[in-house]
Structure 1
Amino acid sequence: MQVWAVAFDPPSFTEELYQKGLLLVDPASSARIKRFYRREDACRGLIARLLPRLLLKDRGVAPSMMTFAATEAGKPYVTTPNIDPPIAYNLSHDNGSVVMAFADGKSHPPAYSIGVDVMKVHLPRRNSYRSFVDTFQEQLTLLERELLSPAVSADEGLRRFFWMWTMKEAYTKALGLGLGFDFSRIEFDVVANRVRVDGQVPQGWIFHKFQMTETGEQYVGVVAELVEGVETIVVPETDPKPWFKSFRAVTFVNRAIEELTQTE
């Protein structure tokens, strides 16, 4: 399993770079990107589509041979034939970060074996910590609500909440589930680093926690990876992360332009 994280700084992302990047994706993807009202969202959408393409290029796939599809729930996956081993990937983005997790999709269909979620640790405007957390009460278990109680400082409680939420998102995304899954069925004990689903530890999962700081803002994230024959574990964010690579958006897109426009 590996993670590529692209830090996005809007002022540095020029119109020329954006237009050149659009030429690297298929017409349907380009049209979807252009539909975003805010240019920042369009740039994040562009980076998200370039990430798997650059991954395939690194695996020796010519740009003209790259094909993708999406599940009924909207989760994209690679359909390029004759990739050995198959590639499973998933994407997430929030504010100034776009993240892709990927792994060999051997044990399960690639569309249903890995999920990632990343979120900026912050309070929305005009929200107190208590009012913000209370908004999500029905999606939290009793234990999770206790771990976010007023006895915990607001700063620590906010970090705990985003760990819980990214864990729930990553798990359901790995399974290819769409909106409507009851998040209260998933419990993440952030103190013990233990995950339960419907009261039981799910079998065969590795949950990788990670954190990063971009332009002074803190982000936390989780990769959920379904692996055959392993005891489910949660890998703490403090463990070494040789599988994590970070890029600046401008550098990343310029690299994509260079490599994806090479003569096949």
Structure 2
Amino acid sequence: MTHLFLSDITPLCNDSFFEFAYKGLPEDKKGKVDKLIFRKDKNLSVGSQFVLVYALEKQGYDFSRLIIKKKKNGKPYVENENVYFSLSHSGNMVLCGVSDFPIGVDIQEMTDYNPPVAKRFFKQNEQRAISAAENSEDKKNMFFRIWTLKEAYAKMTGEGLGGFRNFEVVPEKGLLKSLSELGCRLFEFESDEYKIAASSKDWESDVQIHRVDIIECISMIAKSNP
């Protein structure tokens, strides 16, 4: 089963709550937060860590016992359990995917559509799909739809942005073009002004998405790890 955990981390804008959450981080994670310049990035970093812990523990894993390492391409993985995860954040939202199979997730706040970005990272058919959209709002919608799907797949494989032009994702007639030849399934969701996508090698079950209250999440983890 593949699960997505979505959380609005806006409460971390409160200084007192941020400090409470920050103090509950492991020392290495505190160091990562300290290196960030902007408060928004610090909030997202802190929120991502807690949502990850919450998501894995909700799936029955003791996070304190998990050994998390990184591959040469920078993709994190769990060394001592058969569980996979992927993190993404944008705007004030954090997204974490957890599965028994390789997974990649992406979330993007739908800000302005930037044509040069599409030209740089998208293949010709993907660019044509955007150009064929009827108006600027539809073009923006198509751009972020394609972007999140591509990034979810690239995060699953560990290729990152550098692999964007190695494959294409073209939604056709409102449906997603099959990527079965690439050995994965792709899923799409929307939440307010955000596009969400997941790429999974789980062929048997659908993706379930869960809303996470960040205050409840952080408070629960802090109490269990005094």
TM-score (norm 1): 0.75
Greater shift in the superposed pair: 219-228 or 133-142: 133-142
- SS of residue matched to 2:190: strand
SS in 1 for 2:50: helix
Counterpart-to-counterpart distance in 1, 2:68 and 2:209: 24
* Structure 1 residue 42: Cα displacement: 0.7
Deviations 1:98-124 (A, max 9, x none): 00011113xxxxxxx11001101111x
Task: Describe the SS at the equivalent of 1:116.
Answer: strand
1:223 aligns with 2:198: yes
Q: What is the rounded CA distance, in whole Å, between the counterparts of 2:170 and 2:144 in structure 1?
A: 12
CA gap of 1:255–1:224, structure 2 versus 1, over 3 A, is same
Q: CA contact under 8 A between 2:109 and 2:194: conserved in structure 1?
A: yes
Higher helix proportion, which one?
2
Shift of 1:157: 0.8
Distance 1:26 1:151, change over 3 A: closer
Q: Could you list the per-position Cα deviations for residues 7-29 of structure 1 after superposition, in whole angstroms to 9, with x for gaps in the alignment?
A: 1225x632232222223332111
Relative contact order, CA 8 A, sep 6+: which one is greater? 2
**Contact persistence 1:101–1:114 (CA under 8 A):** yes
Aligned to 1:36: 36
List alignment gaps of at least 5 residues for structure 1: 106-112, 124-128, 236-240
Q: Give the structure 2 partner of residue 117 of structure 1.
A: 106
Partner of 1:173: 155
How many pairs does the alignment contain?
223
Q: 1:16 to 1:78 in 2, by over 3 A?
A: farther
Give the corresponding residue for 2:214.
Answer: 249
Check if 1:160 corresponds to 2:142.
Answer: yes
Give the corresponding residue for 1:126. none
1:85-139 Cα deviation digits (max 9, x unpaired): x21100000011100011113xxxxxxx11001101111xxxxx5xx22342132
**Is the 2:118–2:143 contact (alpha carbons within 8 Å) kept by the matching residues of 1?**
no
Q: Does 1:187 align with 2:179?
A: no
- 1:70-149 equivalent positions in 2, closer than 5 A: 70-79=70-79, 81=80, 83=81, 86-105=82-101, 113-123=102-112, 129=113, 132-149=114-131
**Over alpha carbons, which structure has the higher Rg?**
1
Identity of aligned pairs, percent?
Answer: 19
Q: Once the 2 structures are TM-superposed, how far is the Cα of residue 62 of structure 1 from its aligned partner? A: 4.5
TM-score (norm 2): 0.86
SS in 2 for 1:19: helix
Superposition RMSD in Å: 2.4
| Distance of 2:10 and 2:95 partners within structure 1 | 14
Gaps of 5+ in 2: none
Q: Distance in 2 between matches of 1:184 and 1:159?
A: 20
